[in-house]
């Protein structure tokens, strides 16, 4: 049962949420490491393949239509992660990718307006303007570890993520872990077909032959850590605390992503990159925290 709005948030619950955010944030660096050996579309195949098996044998299929599982699987598998992996494969740094992909929040709002007739609040326009300013700063400074193609791919991945959010929203209250596991089965076939077409059997075979223990650990981290642990723990917290308490912790994802990329991959953090991050994070923070602060004042 979900806790009431004023319920206590135990320290170990906060630590669990921090662990999920850390896993999700540092995962962008793990992606970059795996891409050193495995081509991007094949990496997506492996990620979703291991998310399906063996979990599908133990986790019950949620009571939603197959078409919704299929739509979610294609949007998240092919759209979000397929494009994201292509972007991180030499087209944008992992740190910036972890930041830009969070624009899915605003795409989700836009889709909710166009599909569900929701109204944009004034604070959401302010949040969107700040985040758009941050993306504009990134676009102005393309070159080196950030390209226009990479920026466009990550924005497209964010749009696909937002589409997946709308599909999941239409499914109602479901077990999100089971939803992700079963929908992943629909991500594998198109990703495999795309990998065979664009990367080719020879490159796929060579990548699998060259993959060492570190690469397979990175692949499993995508499936077990990022997907199964992340969604299960996050869903567990949301079931016990108000969304307004849990959701703002997601602001730490790009923070972990950029710091991990700087520490492990020596990604430079010039003033323009930090300024862009500040603008995007400010927009996300206003969008998430304003309703809660306004509710307290009321």
Average pLDDT (283-296) is: 78
Q: Give the three-state DSSP class for 211.
A: coil
Query: How does pLDDT run across 239-287, given as a tens digit for each residue?
Result: 777 666 777 788 889 999 999 999 999 999 999 999 999 999 999 888 8
| DSSP structure string for 98-154 | HHHGGGHHHHHHHHHHHHH-PPPPHHHHHHHHHHHHHHHHHHHT-BTTB-HHHHHHH
Query: How does pLDDT run across 43-52, given as a tens digit for each residue?
Result: 999 999 999 9
Distance, CA of 232 to CA of 251 (rounded, Å): 19
Q: Give the three-state DSSP class for 47.
A: helix
Query: How does pLDDT run across 168-185, given as a tens digit for each residue?
Result: 888 887 888 899 999 999
Query: How does pLDDT run across 221-242, given as a tens digit for each residue?
Result: 989 998 888 888 887 887 777 6
What integer pLDDT is reported at residue 200 of this predicted model? 97
Distance, CA of 87 to CA of 83 (rounded, Å): 6
pLDDT of 32 higher than 70: yes
Query: How does pLDDT run across 150-209, given as a tens digit for each residue?
Result: 999 999 999 999 999 889 888 887 888 899 999 999 999 999 999 999 999 999 999 999
DSSP H or E stretch at residue 273: helix 271-297
Give the pTM.
Answer: 0.89
What are residue 222's DSSP bridge partners?
none
C-alpha to C-alpha distances, 229 to 151, 215, 233, nearest whole angstrom:
28, 19, 6
Distance, CA of 256 to CA of 19 (rounded, Å): 11
Q: For residue 66, how many C-alpha atoms fall within 13 Å in the half-sphere facing its CB?
A: 2
What integer pLDDT is reported at residue 209 of this predicted model? 96
What integer pLDDT is reported at residue 5 of this predicted model? 44
Average pLDDT, the chain: 89
């Amino acid at each position: 049962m979900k806790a009431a709005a004023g319920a206590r948030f135990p320290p170990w619950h906060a630590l669990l949420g921090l662990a999920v955010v850390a896993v999700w944030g540092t995962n962008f660096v793990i992606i970059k490491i795996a891409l050193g050996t495995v081509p991007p579309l094949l990496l997506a195949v492996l990620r979703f393949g291991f998310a399906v098996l063996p979990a599908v044998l133990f986790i019950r299929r949620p009571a939603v239509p197959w078409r919704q599982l299929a739509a979610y699987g294609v949007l998240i598998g092919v759209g979000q992660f397929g494009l994201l992996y292509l972007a991180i494969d030499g087209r944008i740094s992992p740190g910036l990718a972890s930041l830009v992909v969070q624009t899915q929040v605003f795409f989700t709002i836009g889709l909710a307006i166009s599909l569900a007739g929701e109204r944009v609040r004034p604070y959401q326009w302010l949040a969107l303007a700040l985040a758009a300013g941050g993306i504009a700063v990134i676009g102005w400074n393309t070159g080196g570890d950030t390209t226009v193609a990479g920026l466009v791919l990550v924005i497209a991945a964010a749009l696909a993520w937002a589409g997946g959010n709308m599909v999941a929203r239409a499914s109602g209250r479901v077990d999100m872990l089971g939803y992700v596991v079963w929908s992943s089965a629909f991500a594998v076939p198109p990703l495999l077909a795309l990998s065979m077409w664009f990367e080719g059997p020879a490159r796929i075979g060579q990548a699998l032959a060259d993959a060492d223990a570190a690469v397979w650990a990175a692949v499993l981290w995508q499936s077990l850590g990022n997907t199964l642990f992340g969604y299960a723990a996050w869903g567990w917290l949301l079931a016990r605390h108000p969304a307004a308490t849990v959701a703002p912790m997601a602001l730490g994802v790009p923070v972990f992503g950029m710091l991990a990329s700087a520490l492990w991959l020596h990604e430079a953090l010039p003033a323009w990159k930090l300024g862009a991050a500040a603008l995007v994070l400010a927009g996300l923070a206003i969008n998430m925290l304003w309703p809660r602060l306004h509710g307290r004042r009321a």
